[in-house]
Amino acid sequence: MMSACQAGGCGGGPAPRMQPPSFSQVWVNGVEITPEGIAREIQHHPAADPKTAWTEAVRALAIRELLLQEAERLGIEADPQPDEAGRVETDTDAVIEALLDKEVTPAVPDEDECHRFYAAQARKFRTPDLFEASHILIEPEGDDTEAWDEAEAQARAIIGEIGDDSAAFAEVARELSACPSAHQGGSLGQVRRGELLPDVENAIMALEEGRTRSEPVRSRYGWHVIRLARKIEGHVLPFELVKDKIAEMLEARSWSIAAARYIAGLAERAEVDGIAIEAMVEPGVT
């Protein structure tokens, strides 16, 4: 479930200071959103231009003020609690969170809805493709062209010597590889996309199982002799394993939509000058 800060749009971490532009005055039921408050809040809303940053900051402050006024009207009090990192929320945030917990009720998705989401978004629940690969790293003994040429020649000689023989590959890796994986015969274990240097990864993925690449691959570390032992295709996880996660996702989305509509309803009944507050609802959601 979203925090009160997320619902109110309080923004993220610090950003480079931006001087707020001078736009219209903003009032919420007779309470002014002060220029000083906007100047502090605008730092949390980096944007391409000052007007957008100002608008987002003012909207966040106006929503915050609406929620605080409604919490006071309903007599809501709260006891700030520490989060997982031990940070204690402010009294204001605790009151807003208590208000939203009381007033916003998300729709709980049933199993049919979870099934429909699973069928439409199955790719989100697919395990990654894995590759069992090995390499031998030949480092040049200097930064000059001659050193790199010598390292390349050594890598090519190794390829010619070992071919596709896995035992020979492992033996040479233990003897000559400059990578810590040498202790495992050059084995990199099971790797997934994004875990290796791009050029090395692409070369591995293009190989057939059980083959050593016929050309070494250069990286900033040296020349790599690479071998692919096995490809392990990813697969879609069964619905039963992910249905609880899907239900949490759908309930969180429902809560976000309900909170946005609740805030828009407060704005419609309030006197808000200088900023528009509208419900932000996903396309196709009613």
Domain co-membership, 145 together with 208: yes
> Does residue 115 fall inside a structural domain?
no
Residue-wise pLDDT for 225-282, tens only, equals 999 999 998 899 999 999 999 999 999 999 999 999 999 999 999 999 988 887 554 4
> Could you tell me the residue range of the domain that residue 148 belongs to?
130-232
Domain tally, the chain: 2
Residue-wise pLDDT for 148-191, tens only, equals 999 999 999 999 999 999 999 999 999 999 999 999 999 999 99
Band (23; pLDDT cuts 50, 70, 90):
low
Counting Cα atoms < 13 Å in the Cβ hemisphere of 79 gives 0
Domain co-membership, 136 together with 220: yes
Neighbours of 238 (CB within 10 A): 10
Examine the pLDDT at 22 and tell me if it is beyond 90: no
> Does residue 193 fall inside a structural domain?
yes
Q: How far apart are CA 74 and CA 268, in angstroms?
A: 18
Task: Tell me, yes or no, if the pTM score tops 0.85.
Answer: no
Contact 11, 60 (CB under 8 A): yes
Domain co-membership, 250 together with 227: no
Domain co-membership, 192 together with 55: no
Examine the pLDDT at 11 and tell me if it is beyond 70: no
